[in-house]
Amino acid sequence: MPHSLIIVESPTKVKTIKKYVGNDFDVRASMGHVKDLPKSSLGIDLKNDFAPSYSTLDSRKKVMAELKKAAKNAENIYLAPDPDREGEAIAWHIADEIGREKQQIHRVLFNDLTKNTILEAIAHPSELNVNKYEAQQTRRILDRLVGYQISPILWEKVKRGLSAGRVQSVAVRMICDRENQIRKFIPEEYWNITAKLEGKNPPPFEAKLIIKQGKKLKVQNQEQAQAILEILKTSPFKVEDVEKKETKRSPSPPFTTSKLQQEASRQLRFPAKKTMRVAQQLYEGVELGDEGSVGLITYMRTDSVRTAAEALNEVRNFIRNNYEPEYLPPNARAFKVKGSAQDAHEAIRPTSMDYRPQDIKSFLTADQYRLYQLIWNRFVASQMNPAVFDQTTINVSSDVYLFRAQGSVMKFAGYTAVYTEGKDETDENNDFARTLPEVLVGEILKLLSLDHEQKFTQPPPRFSEASLVRELEEKGIGRPSTYATILSTIQDRSYVKLEKGRFFPTELGTLVNDLLVLNFPQILDIEFTALLENQLDLIEEGKLKRLATLEDFYAPFEVELKKAQTGMENVKKNGTPTDIVCNKCGSPMVIKLGRNGEFLSCSNYPSCKNTQNFSRNAEGKIVPVENQTVETEHICEKCGKPMVLKRGRFGPFLGCSGYPDCKNILNIKQDENGDIKPVEQEFSDVKCDKCGKPMVLKHGRYGPFLGCSGYPDCQNIMKIKKDRDGKIKAEAPQTTDEVCDKCGRPMAVKRGRYGSFLGCTGYPECKNIRKLKANS
């Protein structure tokens, strides 16, 4: 019988750990967090030092009961959730449930899931870390105070179901601010002038005009460019000076969490959420045939670039045995850890150099292999010699102008033989990646051609996942472990959308951001949010107390809350004013928010019910979209009038141009050429029990149903079911003993959007309904 109990988060870890610890240990999983704040209330006692009210999650009660039972018979209990703040909170909550007064409860930290690490951690366990737990509790309480107190205001003033978050709202602001910069950006014209030149030695090369009379030159228009070209056509081109130097490019350190997310986005096109999910799988363990479950990488939530000495020796031996001697530096390379890094864990690296990606590829999924290979290559490259280049700069004069050509040749590949870091769109182009000829100072060059090209300055680019993670990290917003969740949440809330790899704020996101920035300036302040993150770090270091941090935060926040409850603009009721005039009554149009997004509505509602869709131009100004219908070649089979293309809440459809006299509509689809085709009605064998016409299969918001082909004259509908052969059958209504008090027909059990109810079987002639009683 096992004498010790190890509790981890994930059942995947259980298999990996069990094969190393033997039968004396019972290894079990908590399945993640076991306790949390209530969903239905704030769960924070504002009058009692912000005390949180935790309870065991319903989904974890059975797990917790099994853990308690296993703990009763254990001499030693090792709590081994992830080695971060969230893991520490899980460990404390488990200890609370088991009974923290037990002396045999230990905390163990696994930076990786290799045999040596696991056995070493068990042999030298630590105690629960109260400071790390306090930091996690402070963050959880701060997030709850913001989310659960701002969100109801948004429900009242804007739309039910909206949410605000201490960090997510700041991320949305960064995207909205970038969009505003783009919309306000005024492009400036400039011209590039390039000379193609040839010397005594090949090859010909290009040089760019950069200087006039010793000062940097900016050619602003075509007239200026043409004037310069006229001068240059008759002027000799002479080599003024040649500079040659050897340059070295050093490798990047092994991955931190944020750098892994950025690089996986650039090179693998992985969203941050996917990167972390796959990295978690590699950390917890992958089945490698007869070896069983093996943890392939170190812990994937880290902001440190530190590497253990044993791992450095191992990777250096790998380089020594697999590459030429010149690729291995005389000493291991040490990378400087940033001052803001917690440095609790190593950088992300392979746990062993024995598992080369190509050797275990057959055991990995495609995503696991690609991410593991990226981590492997970056780690190996980090301990290799720099790449070496011969860099050449040639300055060429003509009249009062100076042209410059730059190029380089790689002398030694160094680490680039294994890995080269990806680039963002904003990174400068490498003008050195070309070979220049041997030229002498004073040499006269032959002009082959002169080119001029019109250019315009560009606005800052929209954020990609990689660049947004980089911006969050540089600004100190959130922590590496939270970036994937932040990016996922702001998309799930429909505040931003990712199109062609770039973030765009939605109309909803822009509206909510504007309201929050105006009413909660401190919460939406980037520097303030970064300051709070630093305070959480100080709490973990034992240099700051949880209560003092919460009190300092809540005092000004409470003032903003009270002002917002009465002062925030009620967009739901009044809409957002615009300078657009209603084309029916002349009143101003306002922006309102419906279930399908924002639209223009007349401020004179309900006297005038005019509405319009709208879009925004490049400057962000509102442009009404005329409610036009497009006539098609299809003819209404009910009245013979043309069918027109319309757009409803569920998408485009064909409607009769004779509306409202004829209400015939048809669903549509596009063929392979993009032409619109009506979806043919699928007639069933079922006859309408009201008028005798065939019933047709239709699709509504709650799924397929049978509707009378005599619609709109007959509006009878029936639920459907399919028999074993797949044939459609009408589902007979579940009649009851209840009688309709309007027409005397039987009442039947029906189901609507809010549950079951009693409806008259005489529908649609009789639309009587009742609540469903238990005895019905």
Three-class secondary structure assignment of 144-165? HHHHHHHHHHHHHHCCCCCCCC
10 Å CB burial of residue 15 (0-12, 13-18, 19+) is middle
Nearby residues of 173 by Cβ (< 8 Å), 6 or more positions away: 513, 516, 517, 524, 526
10 Å CB burial of residue 701 (0-12, 13-18, 19+) is exposed
Neighbours of 649 (CB within 10 A): 8
Q: In this structure, which long-range contacts are made by residues 744-751, counting pairs with CB atoms below 8 Å and at least 24 apart in sequence?
A: 749/776
Whether omega before 624 lies within 30 degrees of 0, making that bond cis, reads no
Burial 679-698 (b: 16+ CB within 10 A, else e): eeeeebebebeeeebebbeb
Q: What pLDDT score was predicted for residue 626?
A: 65
8 A C-beta contact, residue 237 and residue 447: yes
H or E element: which one contains 546? helix 546-567
Distance CA 345, CA 349 (A): 11
Q: What pLDDT score was predicted for residue 771?
A: 84
Q: What pLDDT score was predicted for residue 776?
A: 46
Ranges of residues in the chain whose predicted pLDDT is under 50: 776
Distance CA 10, CA 180 (A): 43
Burial 66-104 (b: 16+ CB within 10 A, else e): ebeebbeebebbbbbbbbbbbbbbbbbbbbebbeeeeee
Distance CA 256, CA 162 (A): 33
**554 tagged catalytic:** no
Distance CA 43, CA 55 (A): 10
Neighbours of 621 (CB within 10 A): 13
Q: What pLDDT score was predicted for residue 653?
A: 83
Distance CA 478, CA 397 (A): 52
Residue with structure tokens 């299969």?
697
Q: What pLDDT score was predicted for residue 665?
A: 83
Residue type, 531: L
Catalytic residue among 54, 148, 299, 327: 299
8 A C-beta contact, residue 236 and residue 398: yes
